[in-house]
Chain A
C-alpha cells in the first residue's frame, strides 16, 4: 500500500516536472523554428521560465464570469486533469519503474484518457460563452470520432503481442520493434494521427482554434484553473507519445543506456515531432477532419486489422 502511494507521489512529481519541461521545450522549439531566441532572461536559456509562469498563474485572480453553470464550470478542470494523472498508473518507464502492471493496461489507458472529453465538454458548456460552446461541441465530436481508428490500431498491437499488459507488449518486442513490421508501421501512422487529434494538437487543434474561437473551451478560464487545462494538455502529449513508445518503439528496450533513459528519449522525441508539426502546419477544417476520420482512417485501420488478422490466423 505504502509503496503504491509513494509511487503515485513520484508519478505526480514527474507529471509537473514533465509539463514544465514541455512548456519550456515548446517555447524553445517554436522559437528555433521561427528565427527567434525564445525565453532567455530567466535562468540559463530561460530554463526557469516555467517556474515564473507557474508563480504567475498561482497568483492570478480566479475570475468567474457571470452566468456560468456552477457545477460544470468548477468540475471541468478536474475532469480534464485527473484522468491524465490516472493514466500514469500503467506507464512503464523501465523494467522496474512503474506503478502497476495491470493485465488490461492498454484498455485501461485508452479508456481513462477518453474521459478528458467530458471535462472539455463541461468547460465549453459551463462557461456561458458562445466560443467556448462551439469549442466544446467540436471537441466532443472530434475526440469521439478519432477514438475509433485509434483503438483499431491499438487492437492490432494487442493481437500481435497477445497481451494487453504494457510490460507484456514491450517483452513481445524483444526481438524487433513493432514499428519495423509493415502492417504495424501503418497502424502506428493511424495511431499517431488519431492521437494528435485526441490531444487537440495542430493540424487538429480545432476545439481551441485561436483565429476562430479565441481559445475555444478554455477562453473563460484564468489562473490555476487555466493552468490545470494547460498541464493536462502537455501531459496528454507526453502520454500519447509514451503509449506510442510502448506499443511501437519497444518501450524501454535499447542498448547500453538504462531503460528509463531510452523510454524518455523515445517519448520526448515523439513529443518533439508533435511540436514540429504544430509550428509548421496550418489547421484543417472541422468537416474535413471528420470526413478524414470516418472515410479514410477508419476504413484503412479496419482493412489493416482484417488483412493482418487473416495472416496471423493462417
Chain B
C-alpha cells in the first residue's frame, strides 16, 4: 500500500446530496476509510419544538425530510393526537393515506432520478422523474398551497377538504405513472451499463442492517420484510391490499429496484383509498392552543424508513421535549461499512443508493 490520499468529499460536491462531508482516505482510487461529518445543516429543530405550541411546530417538520413533508407532518400530528387522545374522522384518515402515499411515490421518484445521476446518466432520468413529480406538485399546490414544503396535516385532521376534481386528477396520474414506470425500466433498470455499475456493489447483509438499525427501502432491499404499514398498521392501512417489495442481495441495484416497486404499491394503495373514501368532514375540530401531559413515541413508515417522534408534555402549551428519530441518519451511518474497499465511483453509487436527505440528518 502506498501513501494514502485524503480526499475531502463535500460539503460542496455534486453528489453528496446536500451538505454532507465525507472524509475519504484513499489508496489511489480505492476507499480505505470513510468518515462522514455532519452538522452543516443543523437548525436545532428539536429545540425549536420546545418553544412552539403543538400546532405551531407542524411547519417545522416540513423541513426535516423536505422531499416527504407530508409524511413528516403526518407522523408528528399522529404523535400529538396519541398524546392528547384527539379523534380523527374516517375521511381525514383516508385523505391522509392518499396524500402520504402520493408523497412517497414522488419522493421515490426523486431518489431514483438522483441515483441515476450519481451513476453518470446526465440529468435525463432526473428530468423524467421530475416531469412526473411535477404533476403531483401541482396537485399538492392546489390542495395545500405549497410546492415544496407542503403542509396539509393538522392535529385532528387535515387543513381543508380536497378541491373538487382532485380525485379524477389522482386517477389520471395513476394511469399515467403506470406507463411511465415501464419507461423507467426501459431506460434504466435493465440497461447493461446500469446493471454493471450497481449489481453486487455495496452489499448490505441483513445482520449489518439490523445492527445499524437501518430501515425503510434500504432494509427491505437486504431481504428483511419489515414495513410498519404492515407490521403495526396505523391510519387505515390494514384495509388495503398491497405487497411489500423485498430485495434478494441487498446491493445498490436492489435498493433502486425496491424503490421502483414501492411506487407501484403506493399507486395500488391510492387506487383503493380513492375508491373507498367515505363522506364527512376531514377538518379538525381541535383548538389552536391546548395543554397536555404525558409522553408518547410514535413511528411511521416514511419513504426513507422509520420516522419517530418522541414527545414529552408536562402540562404547558408547548412540548417539554421533542426527539426525532430520523431514518436517513441511521441509513447514513452504515455507509463507511459499505464503501470500504470499493473505488470512488462505487462509493458514489452506494451513497446515491442509500438515498439520504440531509435535512433530517442534521435536524
Contact = CB atoms under 8 A, between A and B. Distances in A.
Interface of A: 30, 33-36, 130-131, 134, 202-203, 205-206, 209-214, 278-288
B344 interface: yes
Nearest to A134: B29
Interface in B294-352: 343-346, 348, 352
17 contacts: A30-B123, A34-B124, A203-B120, A203-B193, A206-B345, A209-B120, A212-B344, A214-B13, A278-B122, A280-B124, A281-B193, A282-B121, A282-B188, A282-B193, A283-B119, A283-B193, A285-B197
Nearest to A285: B345
A134 B116 CA distance: 22
A252 to B, nearest CB: 33
A293 B343 CA distance: 19
Given A34-B127, A134-B344, A281-B121, A211 B14 contact: yes
B127 to A, nearest CB: 4
A210 B14 contact: yes
B14 A288 contact: no
Interface string B159-193: 00000000000000000000000000001100101
A210 B123 CA distance: 11
Contacts of A280: 121, 124, 187
Nearest to B193: A282
B291 interface: no
A193 to B, nearest CB: 13
A139 to B, nearest CB: 13
B129 to A, nearest CB: 11
B5 A211 contact: no
B194 interface: yes
Given A34-B127, A286-B343, A212 B193 contact: no
Contact of A205 (B120, B128, B196, B344): B120
Interface in B134-161: none
B7 interface: yes
Nearest to A131: B7
Contact of A210 (B29, B120, B124): B120
A279 B348 CA distance: 20
Interface string B1-35: 00001010000011100000000000001000000
A287 B15 contact: no
Contact of B118 (A30, A211, A281): A211
B29 A284 contact: no
A199 to B, nearest CB: 15
A113 to B, nearest CB: 24
B127 A35 contact: yes
Given A203-B120, A211-B117, A282 B197 contact: yes
B43 interface: no
B239 interface: no
B37 interface: no
Interface string B101-133: 000000000000000111111111001100100
Contacts of B193: 203, 281-284
Contact of A211 (B15, B124, B196): B15
Contacts of B187: 280
Given A34-B127, A130-B5, A210-B14, A285 B121 contact: no
B74 to A, nearest CB: 31
Given A130-B5, A134-B344, A211-B117, A284 B197 contact: yes
A52 to B, nearest CB: 21
A285 B343 contact: yes
A236 to B, nearest CB: 18
A286 B118 CA distance: 15
A282 B116 contact: yes
A283 B124 CA distance: 13
Contacts of A205: 120
A39 B187 CA distance: 25
From B7, B124, B194, name the one whose CB has the most chain A CB atoms within 10 angstroms: B124
Contacts of B29: 134, 286
Contacts of A287: 343
A212 B124 contact: no
Nearest to A210: B14
Q: Which of B127, B128, B194, B345 has the most CB of A within 10 A?
A: B345
A210 B7 CA distance: 16
Nearest to B198: A282
Most buried by A among B120, B188, B191: B120
B122 A285 contact: no
B250 to A, nearest CB: 20
B197 A34 contact: no
